[in-house]
Amino acid sequence: MKKTLCAQKSDIKELIKAIQPPLHKAVCIACRKYLFQADNTLIKDFCEEITLRLIEDDYRRLKSFENRSLQETWLGQIAKNHVVNYVKRQKPAERLEEKRADDFQVPPPQEKELLQHEREEVLAWALQSLTVRDRELYDLLFRQELQAEEISKQMGIQLGQVRKRKNKLVNKLRHLIEGGG
């Protein structure tokens, strides 16, 4: 006698075992149709994920089967939906013809280090050109990463002044760095 999904809680483990072969078959069919290929590990993962979803919330989904269709048809639809959702979540493949040659060029690590060192030196020079008060604000904002309220208390200025001074400071630094003085 074939087991239906309308089982009592007492034999739920047997029911889960009973649905595994048709579920596996349904997942294989869905993978062939929508993924065109799938390794056994992915198929096994899909079967486990679907089983977990069927038994979550005290077997609510598993109990929702009403025998209006064959068990295989119901499991097939669930497998299809699961695989289609997986495909939708995947990042689309990029065509090599659409890529620019620059996209494949990666600067050597030494060049990255040199550029970073150069940026740090320019910033250090620009910071030395600021007033003591501006350097203090820079330190609180960008090194200590304090919130505006904390900065206002530490510097003894109004909260609105923190934002204004931050904008002025950023503009000064930009001017010094871009203009070279």
Write down the pLDDT at residue 8: 52
Query: DSSP of 98-111, one letter per residue?
Result: GS-GGGG----HHH
State yes or no: pLDDT of 6 exceeds 60: no
Q: 60 or 80, which is more confident? A: 80
For residues 11-31, average pLDDT: 85
* Cα–Cα distance, 138 to 163 (Å, whole number): 12
Q: CA 47 to CA 51: how far, in whole Å?
A: 6
- What does the pLDDT read at residue 156? 93
CA angle 21, 49, 5 (to 5 degrees): 50
Spatial separation of the C-alpha atoms in residues 54 and 16, rounded to whole Å: 9
**pLDDT confidence tier of residue 50, bands split at 50, 70 and 90:** confident
Which residue in this structure is represented by tokens 């919330």?
A: 57
**Alpha carbons 19 and 47: distance in angstroms, whole number:** 10
Q: Which range is least confidently modeled, 89-98, 123-132, 134-143, 146-155?
A: 89-98
Confidence of residue 2 (pLDDT cuts 50, 70, 90): very low
- For residue 57, the model assigns a pLDDT of 62
Cα separation, 69 vs 145, whole angstroms: 61
pTM: 0.44
pLDDT confidence of 7, banded at 50, 70, 90? very low
60 with 32: CB under 8 angstroms?
Answer: no
Mean pLDDT of all residues belonging to the chain: 82
Alpha-carbon gap, residue 145 to 141, rounded angstroms? 5
- Domains annotated for the chain, with CATH where assigned, are 9-89 (1.10.1740), 124-179 (1.10.10.10)
